[in-house]
Amino acid sequence: MKKIFLILILILVVISTIYSIDKSVVFNNDIMTISLKAGMKMLYGQTNEIVYNPEFTNGTYLSKLEWRQDATMIGGKLHFDFFDRIIINGSVYTNLGTRKGLMEDFDYLDNEKPTTWTHYSLSETEMEIQTYDLNLAVRTNKILGFLEFDGIFGMRNEQRYWTDALQSIIYSSNYTEEDGFRDIEQDLEDVPGINYDVSMIFPYAGAGIATTFNKLYMRIYGLYGIGDITAIDNHLLRGITFVDTFENVTYLETGIEMSWDFTEHTYFSLGGTYSMIPEGTVGDTLLWDGEFKQYHNDIAGFSQESITIDFGFGLEY
DSSP string over 129-167:
EEEEEEEEEEEPPPBTTTEEEEEEEEEEEEEEEEEEEEE
Distances (CA, A) of 120 to 63, 171, 304, 308: 10, 6, 21, 29
Alpha carbons 272 and 37: distance in angstroms, whole number: 17
Q: What is the pLDDT of residues 69-87, one digit of tens each?
A: 999 999 988 888 888 889 9
- In contact, 194 and 146? CB cutoff 8 Å: no
- For residue 14, give every residue at least 6 positions away whose Cβ sits within 8 Å of its Cβ, in sequence order, or none: none
Q: In the chain, which ranges are E strands?
A: 24-28, 32-52, 61-82, 86-95, 100-107, 119-139, 147-171, 184-213, 216-235, 240-261, 266-288, 293-315
Alpha carbons 103 and 138: distance in angstroms, whole number: 41
Q: What is the pLDDT of residue 276?
A: 97
Residue 153 — left, alpha, or beta (φ > 0 → left; ψ -120 to 50 → alpha)?
Answer: beta
CA 6-84-134 angle, 5° bins: 25
Q: What is the pLDDT of residue 1?
A: 46
Residue 140 has, within 13 A of its CA and on its CB side, a CA count of 15
Whole-model pTM?
Answer: 0.85
Quote the mean pLDDT of the chain: 87
Gyration radius from the chain CA atoms? 23
Q: What is the pLDDT of residue 41?
A: 95
Q: What is the pLDDT of residues 237-277, one digit of tens each?
A: 888 999 999 999 999 999 999 988 888 777 889 999 999 99
Q: What is the pLDDT of residue 316?
A: 66
Q: What is the pLDDT of residue 30?
A: 62
Q: What is the pLDDT of residue 13?
A: 42
Three-state DSSP at 290 gives coil
Domains detected in the chain: 2-315 (2.40.128.90)
Residue segments in the chain with a per-residue pLDDT below the cut of 70:
1-30, 316-317
- In contact, 312 and 269? CB cutoff 8 Å: yes
Backbone angles phi, psi at 262, to 5 degrees: -70, -50
